[in-house]
Amino acid sequence: MSEKGKVVIIGSGVGGLGSAIRLAHKGYKVMVFESNPYPGGKLTQIRHGGYRFDAGPSLFTMPEYVEDLFRLTGRDITNYFTYSKEDESGRYFWNDGTRLVAHADTKVFVREVEAVLGAEARHTLQRLKRSETMYNLAGRIFLHKPLNRWSTWLNGDVAKALTRIHQLGIFSTMHAENRRILKNPKLVQLFDRYATYNGSSPYKAPAALNVIPHLEHSLGTYIPQKGMHQITESLYALALELGVEFRFGEKVERIAHDGKKVNGVVTSRNTYEAEIVVSDMDVLLTYRRLLSDFKAPEFILSQERSTSALIFYWGIRKSFPELGLHNVFFGDDYRGEFERLFKGIVPDPDPTVYVSITAKRIPADAPSGCENWFVMLNVPPHRKSFDWEKLIPQYRKIVLTKLGRILGSELEPLVEVEDTLSPLDIEIRTSSFGGSLYGNSSNNRFAAFLRHTNNSSRLKNLFFCGGSVHPGGGIPLCLLSASIVSELIPNP
């Protein structure tokens, strides 16, 4: 078959699925290669003894980017899945016994912060308003457009944004700005944690990332009716309807090219010609494994990597009414925690722990009276010196002790089923170098410009999507990367 009009996509993560849908809708013949026997990349699920766990991303924001794919193709999203908005974004716990519910209603949230933390309402409102201003000023522009096109920079909205560059937070760090505005140490810590949404440190990442709280506190958080994995199932079903061909268990070994443009891929089974190749694989590994005969952009690839995660999936034989869908248990030494993260010091003696319990909203996810705990810790990417068989039990003991102390309940006897996911597992299963969740970190004021672009400047018809390239990681940004790729590729 002629390569004209054919697109090969490497990987079926959210970015790959979004790209497949958009390009198939454009009229391309799309073939997706996935080394795993299932679609979704990190956005998959696990079932154990009556418990269901979302294996990866647990937070759903900006659902309009999922809706766009169904609207684009003339489908009603409600025929595929439905979702509901949460009335709180999370619950926060500190070692000293302080507990705070972050209500979705801003007025209620501000009153709660004032009552529990003693923080002045005007400071919290100022932080949220500034996050909104940053988003409206530049967030939509720079997240939706490729940064390596003159058309982006010559846009009138961009010119307007650049005249107010002092408001974009590139001259300060997240923590410095939060400390200046919020004053209260616990509230600063709460807002600093948003650096982890792209695997960075609030003490190094630019204050521009303080736009993230706007997405959660102002635009809201959501949950699909059957859990996060339903997003993958729905996008996969839509792609199939559009004629996308999936080849599971077939690993791409090399991107074929003539030095000037790509012309297909070589897999573990065959050689396939294609006019266009889109990689949803970690961009570093794309170059190292699939383009080893081509000069890589070393400066971009050598940037500091984002954090990874260690995840425990615990079926808990008890219900905890004080816990919600999203729960964060902070450590006392937040600055030290991030220093240890990026120096590769493990295990952390008092890590911040995130616990998601979808059974709070989806009763079928756990047996009656029980809960499915998705327990995640930020950890360094895998290194050769890390022995996860030894580290996992150490972290497990630390986490069980910490959560048990705060909740006033011995947890070890309550763990009915258990599974784990380490950075090494993440690397193997999702081709993410070292298990880094977001490619490069944003521990640099120019981080946005140090992410790989969505197309190659040296190999024609080679494109990149997913969390390791512009505009970044997480479901919304991965879908935006797919949108940018689609705009860069002309109609067949």
> Residue 402: left if φ>0, alpha if ψ -120 to 50, beta else—which one?
alpha
pLDDT at res. 269: 95
Domain count, the chain: 2
Task: Please report whether residue 435 resides in a domain.
Answer: no
Alpha carbon distance 311, 4 (integer Å): 43
pLDDT at res. 159: 58
Task: Please report whether residue 364 resides in a domain.
Answer: yes
The answer on 372 and 317 residing in a single domain is yes
Lowest mean pLDDT among 28-42, 119-133, 164-178, 324-338: 164-178
The residue type found at 71 is R
The residue type found at 441 is S
Q: Kindly report the CATH number assigned to the domain that includes residue 276.
A: 3.50.50.60
CA-nearest of 37, 96, 18 to 475 is 18
CA dihedral sign of residues 9, 13, 14, 15: negative
pLDDT at res. 157: 62
Identify the burial level of 141 via C-beta atoms within 10 angstroms of its C-beta, where 0-12 means exposed, 13-18 middle and 19 or more buried: middle
- Res 165 pLDDT > 60: no
Strands 88-93 and 245-248: unpaired
pLDDT at res. 435: 96
Task: Please report whether residue 156 resides in a domain.
Answer: no
Task: Please report whether residue 163 resides in a domain.
Answer: no
- Res 1 pLDDT > 50: no
Q: What angle do CA 447, 44, 463 make, to 5 degrees?
A: 45
The answer on 200 and 78 residing in a single domain is no
The answer on 177 and 98 residing in a single domain is yes
pLDDT band for 2, please (50, 70, 90 cuts): very low
The answer on 393 and 330 residing in a single domain is yes
pLDDT at res. 43: 97
pLDDT band for 20, please (50, 70, 90 cuts): very high
pLDDT at res. 372: 98
The answer on 450 and 340 residing in a single domain is no
pLDDT band for 197, please (50, 70, 90 cuts): very high
* Domain with 56 in it: 6-84+226-300+442-488
Place of tokens 């619950």: 91
Average model confidence (pLDDT) for the chain?
Answer: 93
Q: What is the pLDDT of residues 351-381, one digit of tens each?
A: 999 999 999 999 999 999 999 999 999 999 9
**Residue that wins the pLDDT comparison between 447 and 104:** 104
Task: Please report whether residue 262 resides in a domain.
Answer: yes
The pLDDT of 11-19, averaged and rounded, is 98
Q: Kindly report the CATH number assigned to the domain that includes residue 409.
A: 3.90.660
pLDDT at res. 445: 77
The pLDDT of 66-84, averaged and rounded, is 97
Does pTM surpass 0.75? yes
Lowest mean pLDDT among 105-109, 159-163, 180-184, 396-400: 159-163
pLDDT at res. 133: 87
Q: How far apart are the first and last CA of the chain?
A: 16
| Residues paired with residue 6 on neighbouring β-strands, in sequence order | 29
| Residues paired with residue 143 on neighbouring β-strands, in sequence order | none
pLDDT band for 434, please (50, 70, 90 cuts): very high
Whether residue 209 contacts residue 174, with contact meaning beta carbons closer than 8 Å, is answered with yes
User: What number of residues does the chain have?
Assistant: 492
- Res 207 pLDDT > 60: yes
The answer on 412 and 332 residing in a single domain is yes
Whether residue 275 contacts residue 3, with contact meaning beta carbons closer than 8 Å, is answered with yes
pLDDT at res. 47: 97
Three-class DSSP category at 489: coil
The answer on 264 and 327 residing in a single domain is no
b/e 431-457 (16+ beta carbons within 10 angstroms → b):
bbbbbbbbbbbbbbbebbebbbbbbbe
Task: Please report whether residue 255 resides in a domain.
Answer: yes
pLDDT band for 188, please (50, 70, 90 cuts): very high
The answer on 93 and 77 residing in a single domain is no
pLDDT band for 162, please (50, 70, 90 cuts): low
**Residue that wins the pLDDT comparison between 3 and 148:** 3
Residue 342 phi, psi (nearest 5): -90, -5
Task: Please report whether residue 99 resides in a domain.
Answer: yes
Residue 363 phi, psi (nearest 5): -55, -30
pLDDT at res. 145: 62
The answer on 74 and 35 residing in a single domain is yes
pLDDT band for 138, please (50, 70, 90 cuts): low
The answer on 341 and 213 residing in a single domain is yes
pLDDT at res. 378: 98
Residue 199 phi, psi (nearest 5): 70, 35
pLDDT band for 147, please (50, 70, 90 cuts): low
pLDDT at res. 223: 97
**Residue that wins the pLDDT comparison between 146 and 269:** 269
Domain end marker among 407, 430, 453 = 430
- Res 400 pLDDT > 60: yes
**Residue that wins the pLDDT comparison between 320 and 448:** 320
Domain end marker among 430, 456, 479 = 430
Task: Pull the structure tokens for residue 311.
Answer: 């995840």
Place of tokens 């004053």: 183
pLDDT at res. 144: 62
The pLDDT of 473-488, averaged and rounded, is 95
Task: Please report whether residue 411 resides in a domain.
Answer: yes
The answer on 80 and 18 residing in a single domain is yes
The pLDDT of 195-223, averaged and rounded, is 93
The answer on 219 and 209 residing in a single domain is yes
The pLDDT of 417-431, averaged and rounded, is 97
Lowest mean pLDDT among 149-158, 184-193, 290-299, 393-402: 149-158
Domain end marker among 398, 430, 462 = 430
* DSSP H helices in 156-202: 156-162, 174-182, 185-192
